[in-house]
Each structure stands twice: as structure tokens, then as C-alpha cells.
Structure 1
């Protein structure tokens, strides 16, 4: 971790939010765990926060600049612990919807043999409500459900070798894009993804233009156009399930800090 005066997001290269720079989606992720406190990423004093709930970040929620943007928009200034973990059972796919922010986002997919370095956010009640709202969880027409992914189906290992009993993740209500064989495709980065989609998805250029830049500009300006693009993915039979739908509706914890749930104590060891 850099010295105190260098812990600003700008100094760390983490300040840009994909909401404002959609072609940078999912944004820059930290190299290590840290405490997002305003415009700084500070060292953590622990890996587990018993009064908060763990939320797995597979997209821009792991970008401090994006997190800061979401929280500031709702007037939330409390720090957010971001813990780097080793996750087995989840990979990063492509959401089968066009975001009103101007990009096509990451989405978790079931991948039993895959191991990924991903961040777990430990959120309090207000922070969780902000992230839920940003993912459309409370809305019947929202893009994501929040689902509890339990161990051992999904293994979330901390730096000390202990594991969590699970974590929440945002599962896309529209499904994910597949690779042509029915298998969820990986997300190659926003610019490469949009360039590929514009070439290979019939009708997409008529809606969003011929370049990734034009795609982003048009999507950000028109909610109805985003909805049309989302329908086009389904109409062209490009959509498959993510494999995590079975967990939608599951609840491991109540609202953090209400006493409605037991603390998410980690499991020790690697067995």
C-alpha cells in the first residue's frame, strides 16, 4: 500500500467511475484489500465484519470510483470494506441487457471448477440498500436479483485461509449472453465486447451505431433504446441461463445491524 499521502483514488488510478466513462467498464479494481473511505483506499484492520453482510462484486462494484459515485449520489459517507478473496464456483459472464449507463455489464455465472480473484464488499444496511437500488433489485422491472450463494456450492476463501459460509451476488434477471454453443460467454472488456456485438448481432448497428463510442452515447441517452437492445438479444436467441437462478429468493441474513441474522463467521482452514 502506498504511503498515506498517496492513498487517494486518483493516486492509485482507481478514481474513474464507469457510470461516467462507460468504455472503461468495469473500471479499475484495487490490487489488494482496502477500506474505501471517501476518496481514499486505506488499509484494513480485519477481513470479516460481523455487523455487515458480504456481497460478491463481479463488475463495477469492485471499482472504488464506481462505489464512491453510487454512495455519494445517495449521501452515504460511511466507509466500505473491500476484501480480496479467492472464489471457486463463479465466473464472469456478460449480462443479457443494455445498461442505461451506456455499457453491457458483467454478470456472475455458475462455473464449478473456476477459481477467480474477486472482491467481497462488507455492507451495512444503508450501503446495501444503495447497491440494491443501483442493480434494480427493488423494482419489478429491475435488471438483477440479489441471491445468497452458499458454501460449499461457492467457496469464498479469505487471505488467512478461512472461508465464508457464502456471499450475496447479483444475478441477472435477463440471463447472460452465450458463445454460440449455449455456454455463457466471457466478458473481454467493454470496448472489445461492444465491437464484437456490433459486428455479429443483426440489427444492433441500426439501434446503436457502428462504434463502441456511438453505442455508449446512444445507450446513455435513451432508456427505451436500452430496452430495445435487451429485447434484441433475446430475439436473436443469444441468451442462456447463468446457472445461479436456483439461489434467487434465498436469504442468509436479515438487514445488517438489526439483529435479524447471525454473524457471517468464517470457516477455518482449507478443507
Structure 2
């Protein structure tokens, strides 16, 4: 589409944490963009809904919906907005998850401002060996997170990578303010939350914020638990290598996280848990105020 090299490798966005666990959570999409296979094409933000933003790295700079139609993919209004707090913010991880299943990795990805959601660490160890992120409700939090706009087939595929360790919830926009770079406030979005709770400080019982450096996180857990050091030490590389090789060991060490008193049950998302088979899309969710600011 463009003469500039916009490949994930050239942009330094090709890490796949499920294959290289110490890179978790990977680098998030740094700006509004269209992931198209192994390329990430910039989007020009306009005072319109997402489908009207232009694809800046396309020679003709078409509106996003026109570009998606030309690729034979559903337009933005028929897609499902999904907010991520972990590796699903990473274009490399999303591309890997979809393409390995033979599903087109054509996904708009947009950083947006979200109020009321903190980012912590799940109370379990993933099969890949990392301790993944999970959201928790923190009414005073103000975070920048990535929303991906998934086709129904893509959403089912991502569901399969999250369940049963995560559940999907609906964030209503009148409770959790979600603001796009255009100024549009989303009426709602999906989010995955861990069913195994969130890592917390043993004394304060407050969630430990995710720091983004997986090696540092695992080294800290090893230093605080003789039982984990015995089973997974001496270092983060040893931790991930042993976990990936032994499912029973992963289950045992996940149990140790709770026995050490580090896991806070997470029930705040249960009222928002999505139990329906029907899935709503962007077209079902008009902007709350019905208008957008003039950004031209």
C-alpha cells in the first residue's frame, strides 16, 4: 500500500509474547492504525466516526471503511470494540493469534483514554510462562489503552485464546468514560478480565499495578517466595522455561501465588460480565453526546 516500510519488524512491533514470554506484554499500537497482516498503516484522526478517518499510508488516502471494503473485510460499524490491558494491545501478538488460525489479521487499533480502569497482574501463570495483565476497577484511574475493532470471526478467535482464564465483560460508556482521539465517547466496549483475581500487596490488599517489565515482575516474585525459587528459579528465564515444559508445575505454582497471600479475588466486573450469545457492534453504540469536536 505504501512505499515506506510499515512492516511490524521495521517498526519494532513484531514481538510475539506467547513465543517470547519475557517480552510480555509487547509494544502496544503507538498511534491510531490499521493492522493489515504484517503491516501497520497509520490513520489520520478526523472529527468523524472511525470509518471516516483516512488511511494515511495508502497512496489514495481513502476513508478507513472504503479501505476495509476494498480488502473484502467488514467495515468499522460491523465490528466489535475490544479494550485491551495486556498483549492484545500488541500488533505482533494480535497478528500471530489470528494468522496462525488462518484468519485475516486486518484490525483497526486505536489508543483511547479510559477512566475507571486500572491495570494489574493476573493471579495466575499463563501457559506461555508469563504473568499476564488484567484490568481492575479503580474509579479514579485515567489510563490510555488500546481498543481493537474485531470482526465476529476474529472476536471468537481471541475469545478462544482468553477463555477459560479470562471472561469477557461489557464496559458501559456511561460508567467508564472512553474517549477516542477524535473526541468521540464510545457508548461501550468489551474487555477481558481474569477469573483468577489480581495480584495484590499482601499488607495493603491493594492491586499491584502492572509495570510492563516481565523479567522484573518474575524476579520480584522469585525473591519473595522460597517455594517459587525452589520450583522455578533461579531467574526469569528459568521460570518461563520450566513453566512452558510442565503444565502440572504451572498449575502448582499458580496455586502458590494464592497461598502466599498475593491474590485478591476480583468480583467487581461480574455485574458487567457478558453472558449473551449475541454480540453488539459499533453501529449499535452511537456517541453519547451525538457530536464530535472540530479537529480540522
Q: Same fold (TM over 0.5)?
A: yes
Secondary structure at the counterpart of residue 4 of structure 2:
helix
1:1-271 aligned at under 5 Å gives the runs 4-44=3-43, 47=50, 49-136=76-163, 142-180=164-202, 181-188=204-211, 189-242=213-266, 244-250=268-274, 254-255=278-279, 263-268=284-289
Secondary structure at the counterpart of residue 14 of structure 1:
coil
Contact 1:53 1:253 in 2 (8 A): no
Deviations 1:51-94 (A, max 9, x none): 01111010000101100110011101141110110111111100
C-alpha distance in structure 1 between counterparts of 2:10 and 2:150, whole Å: 25
Work out the number of aligned pairs and report it: 260
Deviations 1:214-269 (A, max 9, x none): 01111111111111111111122211134533335336882367xxx962222236
Compute the displacement of 1:6 (Å): 1.8
Contact 2:114 2:179 in 1 (8 A): yes
Secondary structure at the counterpart of residue 206 of structure 2:
coil
Secondary structure at the counterpart of residue 174 of structure 2:
coil
C-alpha distance in structure 2 between counterparts of 1:256 and 1:149, whole Å: 12
Deviations 1:107-160 (A, max 9, x none): 101111111111101111110011100001xxxxx2101011112221110011
Compute the displacement of 1:47 (Å): 2.3
Name whichever of 99-108 and 148-157 sits farther off. 148-157
C-alpha distance in structure 1 between counterparts of 2:252 and 2:280, whole Å: 37
TM-score normalised according to structure 2 size: 0.82
Contact 1:93 1:184 in 2 (8 A): yes
C-alpha distance in structure 2 between counterparts of 1:256 and 1:76, whole Å: 21
> Who is 2:71 aligned against?
none
Compute the displacement of 1:199 (Å): 0.6
Unpaired stretches in structure 2, ≥5 consecutive residues: 52-75
RMSD: 2.1
C-alpha distance in structure 1 between counterparts of 2:272 and 2:174, whole Å: 17
Secondary structure at the counterpart of residue 109 of structure 2:
strand
Runs of 4+ more than 4 Å apart? none
Compute the displacement of 1:204 (Å): 0.8
Secondary structure at the counterpart of residue 192 of structure 1:
helix
C-alpha distance in structure 2 between counterparts of 1:89 and 1:107, whole Å: 14
C-alpha distance in structure 2 between counterparts of 1:244 and 1:202, whole Å: 32
